[in-house]
Amino acid sequence: MLIDAAHLAEARRRIAAASDILVLTGAGISAESGVPTFRDALTGLWARFDPEELATEDAYRRQPGLVWDWYEHRRTLVAAAQPNPAHHAIVALAAQKKVTLVTQNVDGLHQRAGSTDVIELHGNLFANKWLDGCGRCEAAPDDGRSPPRCIHCGALMRPGVVWFGEDLPRVARYRAEHAAQTCDLCLVVGTSGMVYPAAGLPGVAKDHGAGVIVVNPQPSALDATADLVLRAPAGQCLPMLWPPCAAAPA
């Protein structure tokens, strides 16, 4: 996709001048690595389900084995994906500037690319936590049961992601909002801007005087907030925005 040369030059200038950058990423950056969106993964045996049947606490309490197996399926799909040039470019930027990386993605690709201290607003697909635990929960040895249960109280282990109807992790949300209030540039990459409260962060940044750049091959709800929109895939665009060009390892 051809990137507007004037917009590219202006984005480079703004990034070079910035000293504190908030990078907000969404599903688009992961899609370029082949990670299916939540709904796109509802294929094959899972095609008959709605997301609300597989991603709520109520659903998990009703059918824990079904929901756990769905997340195991998603983990298998995501584990096969690799970070793309956009992920590596963000690592390169963080080596040159103060960067706070906030992501709506749960796939861990930023960390696999080398980003550290990533603020995961929606949790992590490969993490687990306890549902109604006793405070000293310990998983039983693998006995073939799905999902695992605590050997002390029988509590269910659950995926460490934010389900429909749940609040964002308090610390992650606080850190993200603080970054939006204190940055001088907000770079929004591959997010539709439809999921709140994450979608509100660029507006917070702008209200506090920061510039906003959107990188997305498709129109998004955040285009109106942006000072500059680069209509291109993240993997193509981000490595062009700052030196050195970040390439994936050979």
What residues are annotated to the active site?
Answer: 122
Backbone angles phi, psi at 187, to 5 degrees: -105, 115
Q: What is 83-99 written as a DSSP string?
A: --HHHHHHHHHHTTSEE
Other beta carbons less than 10 A from residue 152's beta carbon = 13
Distance CA(206)–CA(136), nearest Å, equals 44
Q: What is the CA radius of gyration of the chain?
A: 19
Phi, psi of 109 (to 5 degrees): -65, -30
Instruction: Locate the DSSP E strands across 87-222.
Output: 98-103, 119-120, 123-131, 156-161, 185-189, 211-215
Phi, psi of 154 (to 5 degrees): 80, 5
